[in-house]
Amino acid sequence: MKRTTLSLFAVTASLAVVTGVAALNPPSHGGGTGPKTAARLPVQRTTLLCPAPTSSDVGETTYTAFTPQGKGGGSGSSADLLAAAGAAVKTDPKGDPKTDAKKDKKKEDKGQPQETGKPVLSLKEPGKPVTVTTDRSDAPALFGTADGLLAPGWTAQQTTTISAGSGRGLHGLACGAPDTSFWFPGASTAKSRQDYVHLTNPDNTAAVVDLELYGKDGRINAPTGEGVNVPPHSTVPVLLSTLTDAPTESLTLHVAARSGRVGAAVQASDEKTGGDWLAPSADASTDVVLPGIPADATSVRLVAFAPGSADADLKLRLAGPSGSISPAGHESLHVKSGMTADVDLGDVTKGQAGSLLLTADRGSGAVVAALRVTRGKDDKQETAFIPATPAIEGRGTVADNRAKASTLALAAPGKEAQVKVTSSAGSEGGTPVSKTYTVKAGTTLSVEPPQPDGAKGGYAVTVEKVSGGPVHVSRMLALPKDGVPMFTVQPVPDDRSAVAVPEAGQDLSLLTGDGKR
């Protein structure tokens, strides 16, 4: 199952060989001790996938890419996002991606594949974000890689403002990494909703994917969701309501690749309450944190699913600014194995931002979960999603922050923790600034990131764990328009910018033929 975090390619360590085959062995220290702890080294390569942002004629999308400052991995660094499906895309001097239609047309007429062309977005140095904007209704999905110095922590965000129509609102998504399994509790096939799952294949061979739907009574019959073919370097959107004849308000979608790997995200649009991207839930767990419910949320709905063989009995707590409480009337939730459970928590925050904590009883099964959060009233409502989010072990980054529009939610469900928040230089100038925060045990600290000195344009925010217990983080971006509280929430998981590499040593006994190997 895919994390809303970046899933990175492993570092390849070259093992030097002098007169024989090198083998991984514990070092010899006198009489011999246990193996050394594996060194953690920066990753050398990172892959990201961004789905097609919108088909609306009144939408505008901003792409932002960023790599934090740090010890990178080597020279010859690059970080480029290109159009999927072979579309040739180039960036004009103003930073707007445009299609090279003439070149594409000639290729199509000759039956040749289209050329990828110039990157839509290209990052040249760590520590400074780059952005491009497009108002195209046919903007393509993007995929790309970062190498060397730009690979550790490379992140990209697409933020789309749709000013009218179904799904009106702010749609934000951190571009994800390819994987073979994703869980999406909170999807829907209700008549008022249009939920598309976008499947993007970055590889040179086709991927075959199964789309499984689970409701309150278990798996829903959806034969047309089996064996979906995703061609190489392309994206395939699938409308979930076409997979079943039975409209379902709250369901769980499982994306499972039979062969190959894909990126996956669900875009939800509602006729009355706007819409947003639903990112995958964190891995199934008996301790789940959903960070960053806004203080002014007018409606919060929890959707949970138990993918294992055991039922889950969950205790619900709301971690606010001063401590954790059990929501009145919603102290617990029973989730049957293989079934989706949901509960309407109403305005659970009561004017104070918080995070929902789910803890399974001893012996209970693990769950995946997400929240659907609504702000505003009547015809001025807007919706966003908060999936279960893993803790930051070292560092996490979220791109595309705007002055007085971004809010971080820092949740410490267990022990007190200390974190350092760094706001980068702006995309058009400025200098980075850092600030350290202490998050008390069992609370959620809601803060506006420090503003970069002299910043112009959007900026990135990096959260580093300094000490203490686990910290779960999300970022809300709020851009109200025409009385509608447009907003989007992105989980900020660990960026997995370093991997453990065991020490390599020579073992010449492999060549002696002493019969001991």
Confidence class for position 509, pLDDT limits 50, 70, 90: low
**Residue 314 near residue 367, CB atoms below 8 Å:** yes
pLDDT at residue number 118: 83
Indicate the average pLDDT of the chain. 86
**Residue 404 near residue 448, CB atoms below 8 Å:** yes
pLDDT at residue number 77: 86
pLDDT at residue number 338: 98
- Biggest CA-to-CA distance, the chain: 82
Tokens describing residue 510:
């492999």
73 to each of 21, 76, 177, 501, how far by Cα in Å?
Answer: 26, 10, 19, 13
22 exposure class (CB count in 10 Å sphere: 0-12, 13-18, 19+): middle
454 to each of 69, 263, 406, how far by Cα in Å?
Answer: 19, 37, 17
345 to each of 277, 329, 330, 334, 361, how far by Cα in Å?
Answer: 21, 9, 7, 15, 21
pLDDT, tens digit (0-9, with 9 covering 90-100), for 287-341: 999 999 999 999 999 999 999 999 999 999 999 999 999 999 999 999 999 999 9
Q: For residue 431, what is the DSSP state?
A: B
Among 473, 477, 465, CA closest to 491 = 473
pLDDT, tens digit (0-9, with 9 covering 90-100), for 466-486: 999 999 999 999 999 999 999
Residue 473 one-letter amino acid: V
Give the start-to-end residue ranges of the domains of the chain: 42-501
Q: For residue 52, what is the DSSP state?
A: -
pLDDT, tens digit (0-9, with 9 covering 90-100), for 456-468: 889 999 999 999 9
Cα 122 versus chain centre, distance: 20
Tokens describing residue 429:
């100038």
Residue 280 one-letter amino acid: P
Average pLDDT over residues 159-182: 95
Residue 237, CB half-sphere, CA atoms under 13 Å: how many?
17
Q: For residue 240, what is the DSSP state?
A: G
Has residue 7 got a pLDDT over 70? Answer: no
395 to each of 28, 49, 398, 419, how far by Cα in Å?
Answer: 34, 21, 11, 9
Buried-exposed string 76-109: b where 16+ CB fall within 10 A, e elsewhere:
ebbbbbbbbbbbbbebeeeeebebbeeebeebee
Confidence class for position 271, pLDDT limits 50, 70, 90: confident
Average pLDDT over residues 251-270: 97
Can you name the residues that pair with 210 across neighbouring β-strands? 256
478 to each of 107, 225, 315, 350, how far by Cα in Å?
Answer: 42, 35, 30, 19
pLDDT, tens digit (0-9, with 9 covering 90-100), for 116-133: 468 999 999 999 999 999
317 to each of 94, 289, 331, how far by Cα in Å?
Answer: 48, 10, 7
What residues have CB less than 8 Å from 498, skipping those under 6 apart?
A: 40, 41, 42, 43, 152, 394
pLDDT at residue number 21: 30
H or E stretch covering 406: strand 406-412
**Residue 228 near residue 211, CB atoms below 8 Å:** yes
pLDDT at residue number 111: 32
Has residue 514 got a pLDDT over 60? Answer: no
Average pLDDT over residues 197-219: 97
Indicate the pTM of the whole model.
0.85
SS (H, E, C) 193-216: EEEEEEEEECCCCCEEEEEEEEEC
Q: For residue 451, what is the DSSP state?
A: P
